[in-house]
Structure 1
Amino acid sequence: MSDDAHDSMLAHPDRLLPADPAVRDVARRLYASTKDLPIISPHSHVPPAWLVDDEPFPDPASLLLVPDHYVLRLLHANGAELSDLGRGPNGPLELDEAAARKAWRILFENYHLFRGTPVKYWFDTTFADVFGITEAPSAANADAVYDQVAEALTTPEFRPRALFERFGIEVLATTDDPLDDLAAHRALAADPTFTGRVVPTFRPDRFLEPARGDWPDLVRRLGESADTDTGTYAGYVAALEARRRYFRDNGAVSSDHSHLDLGTEPLATPDAERIYAAALRGEATTDEATAFRRHMMSETARMATEDGLVMTLHPGVRRDHDVDNLARYGHDVGSDIPVSVEVTDSLRPLLGRYGNHPDLHLVLFTIDETVFSREIAPLAGFYRSFYAGVPWWFIDAPEAIRRFRGAVTETAGFYRTSGFIDDTRAFLSIPTRHDMSRRLDAAYLAELVSTHRLTEEEAAATALDLVTTIPKKVFKL
Structure 2
Amino acid sequence: MKSFLDEQFLLTNDTAITLFENYAKDMPIIDYHCHLSPKEIYENKTFSNLTEAWLYGDHYKWRLLRANGVEEKYITGDKTVSDYDRFMAWAKTIPMAIGNPVYAWSHLELQRYFGVYELINEKNAPVIWEKVNAKLNSGEFGARDLIAKSNVTVICTTDDPADTLEYHVLIKNIPDFHTAVLPSFRPDKGLEINRDGFRSWLTQLEQVAERTIENYGTFLEVLEARVDYFHSVGGRVSDHALDYVPYAETTLEEVVAIFEQARKGEKVSLNDEQKYKTFTLTFLGKLYAARGWAMQFHMNAARNNNTRMHNLLGPDTGYDAMNDSLIAGPLVKLLDALASEDSLPRTILYSLNPKDNEVLAAITGSFQGDGIPGKVQLGAAWWFNDTKDGMLAQMRSLANVGLISRFVGMLTDSRSFLSYPRHEYFRRLLCSLLGEWVEQGEVPHDLELLGNMVQDISYRNAQKYFQFEGAYSKIL
Using the size of structure 1 for normalisation, the TM-score is 0.91
Structure 1 segment 173-184 matched on structure 2, within 5 A:
173-184=156-167
- 2:12 aligned with 1:15: no
| Superposed displacement of residue 266, structure 1 | 4.8
**Structure 1 residue aligned with 2:257, among 265, 274, 284?**
274
Partner of 2:423: 434
**Structure 2 residue aligned with 1:407, among 388, 397, 400?**
397
Structure-2 separation of matches of 1:266 and 1:121:
47
| Superposed displacement of residue 67, structure 1 | 1.3
Helix, strand or coil for the counterpart of 1:425?
coil
Contact 1:17–1:27 (CA under 8 A) maintained in structure 2: yes
| Superposed displacement of residue 290, structure 1 | 3.5
Structure 2's unaligned 5+ residue stretches are 369-374, 469-476
Structure 1's unaligned 5+ residue stretches are 19-23, 89-94
- 2:304 aligned with 1:320: yes
| 1:323/1:444 CA distance change after superposition, 3 Å | same
**Structure 1 residue aligned with 2:449, among 444, 447, 458?**
458
Seq. identity, %: 25
Partner of 2:235: 252
1:307 is aligned with what amino acid? R
**Structure 2 residue aligned with 1:103, among 86, 91, 94?**
86
Structure-2 separation of matches of 1:178 and 1:282:
20
- 2:42 aligned with 1:52: yes
Contact 1:86–1:99 (CA under 8 A) maintained in structure 2: no
Structure-1 separation of matches of 2:463 and 2:42:
25
Structure-1 separation of matches of 2:49 and 2:384:
27
**Structure 1 residue aligned with 2:190, among 207, 226, 230?**
207
- 2:461 aligned with 1:470: yes
Structure-2 separation of matches of 1:167 and 1:8:
24
| Superposed displacement of residue 359, structure 1 | 6.6
| Superposed displacement of residue 105, structure 1 | 0.5
- 2:321 aligned with 1:337: yes
> How far does the alpha carbon of each residue in 1:316-347 deviate from its partner, in whole angstroms, 9 at most, with x for none?
11111111111111121111111114332112
Structure 1 segment 131-142 matched on structure 2, within 5 A:
131-142=114-125
Contact 1:311–1:361 (CA under 8 A) maintained in structure 2: yes
Structure-2 separation of matches of 1:151 and 1:200:
33
Structure 1 segment 42-441 matched on structure 2, within 5 A:
42-87=32-77, 99-287=82-270, 288-355=272-339, 357=342, 360-373=345-358, 375-384=359-368, 385-430=375-420, 432-441=421-430
Partner of 1:21: none
Contact 1:317–1:338 (CA under 8 A) maintained in structure 2: yes
| Superposed displacement of residue 77, structure 1 | 2.2
2:349 is aligned with what amino acid? L
| 1:128/1:330 CA distance change after superposition, 3 Å | same
Partner of 1:92: none
Helix, strand or coil for the counterpart of 2:102?
helix
Contact 1:308–1:359 (CA under 8 A) maintained in structure 2: no
1:144 is aligned with what amino acid? V
Structure-1 separation of matches of 2:172 and 2:94:
40
| Superposed displacement of residue 412, structure 1 | 0.7
| Superposed displacement of residue 416, structure 1 | 4.8
1:339 is aligned with what amino acid? N
Helix, strand or coil for the counterpart of 1:471?
helix
Structure-1 separation of matches of 2:344 and 2:311:
42
| 1:321/1:434 CA distance change after superposition, 3 Å | same
> How far does the alpha carbon of each residue in 1:279-312 deviate from its partner, in whole angstroms, 9 at most, with x for none?
1122232312243123322222122122332110
| 1:343/1:53 CA distance change after superposition, 3 Å | same
1:30 is aligned with what amino acid? L
Contact 1:315–1:341 (CA under 8 A) maintained in structure 2: no
Contact 1:171–1:198 (CA under 8 A) maintained in structure 2: yes
| Superposed displacement of residue 397, structure 1 | 0.9
> How far does the alpha carbon of each residue in 1:210-238 deviate from its partner, in whole angstroms, 9 at most, with x for none?
10122122113212222233120001111
Contact 1:388–1:416 (CA under 8 A) maintained in structure 2: no
Contact 2:332–2:363 (CA under 8 A) maintained in structure 1: no
Structure-2 separation of matches of 1:87 and 1:331:
15
Structure-2 separation of matches of 1:331 and 1:109:
26
Structure-1 separation of matches of 2:9 and 2:343:
40
Structure-2 separation of matches of 1:201 and 1:411:
29
1:465 is aligned with what amino acid? D
| Superposed displacement of residue 358, structure 1 | 7.2
Contact 1:381–1:416 (CA under 8 A) maintained in structure 2: no
Structure-2 separation of matches of 1:113 and 1:294:
45
| Superposed displacement of residue 372, structure 1 | 1.1
Q: How many residues end up aligned between the 2 structures?
A: 457
1:458 is aligned with what amino acid? L
After TM superposition, the structure 1 stretch with the greater mean CA deviation from structure 2, 359-368 or 257-266, is 257-266
> How far does the alpha carbon of each residue in 1:76-100 deviate from its partner, in whole angstroms, 9 at most, with x for none?
1222223222447xxxxxx79x611
Contact 1:62–1:86 (CA under 8 A) maintained in structure 2: no
> How far does the alpha carbon of each residue in 1:125-183 deviate from its partner, in whole angstroms, 9 at most, with x for none?
11122212122111122222112111110113312222222211111111112211111
Contact 1:209–1:290 (CA under 8 A) maintained in structure 2: no
Using the size of structure 2 for normalisation, the TM-score is 0.91
| 1:189/1:354 CA distance change after superposition, 3 Å | same
Partner of 2:371: none
RMSD: 1.9
After TM superposition, the structure 1 stretch with the greater mean CA deviation from structure 2, 439-448 or 343-352, is 343-352
Structure-2 separation of matches of 1:184 and 1:367:
31
